[in-house]
């Protein structure tokens, strides 16, 4: 019978915890400097492992997903408040629509701001650049 602990990687002695969460499971990442000193490796307690480059790329992907998620939620709020105001009118409900209209406009403005942030985000180019040393 296998013990659960047989499958959980133990922290390496030369690692230390960071304040960075794992993109794969949101666990705490520990950083390990490879023996050659030229590379860092980030590992969580369940075994997800990242180089510096892949960790940055994963976090950039997380940020983009989060921005698009917020943009979608704000669009949903804009649509729902619009439907709510139409429903109030159609049913003749004694509800002051001004608060709904204010929130609808606010969601629309914030949605545009988030989309602008998405459009303006410049992700770091992590590809190696070759230089012509003959010049």
Digit-coded pLDDT (tens) for 22-81? 999 999 999 998 877 778 999 999 999 999 999 999 999 999 999 999 999 999 999 999
For the whole model, what pTM was predicted?
A: 0.74
pLDDT for 1: 46
Average pLDDT, the chain: 87
What mean pLDDT do residues 88-110 have? Answer: 96
Nearest alpha-carbon partner for 35 in 9, 12, 3: 12
Neighbours of 100 (CB within 10 A): 17
H or E segment to which residue 133 belongs: none
Percentage above 90 pLDDT, the chain:
73
Q: Where are the alpha helices (DSSP H) in 11-120?
A: 52-91, 98-120
Whether the per-residue pLDDT at 135 is higher than 80: the answer is: no
pLDDT for 125: 73
């Amino acid at each position: 019978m296998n013990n659960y602990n047989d499958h959980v990687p133990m922290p390496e002695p030369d690692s230390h915890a960071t304040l960075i969460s794992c993109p794969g499971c949101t666990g705490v990442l520990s950083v390990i400097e490879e023996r050659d000193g030229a590379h860092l490796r980030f590992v969580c307690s369940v075994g997800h492992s990242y180089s510096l480059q892949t960790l940055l790329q994963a976090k950039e992907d997380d940020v983009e997903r989060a921005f698009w998620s917020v943009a979608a939620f704000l669009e949903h709020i804009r649509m729902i408040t619009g439907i709510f105001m139409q429903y109030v009118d159609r049913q003749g409900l004694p509800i002051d629509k001004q608060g709904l209209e204010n929130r609808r406009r606010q969601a629309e403005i914030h949605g545009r701001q988030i989309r602008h942030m998405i459009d303006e985000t410049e992700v770091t180019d992590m590809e190696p650049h070759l230089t012509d040393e003959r010049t």
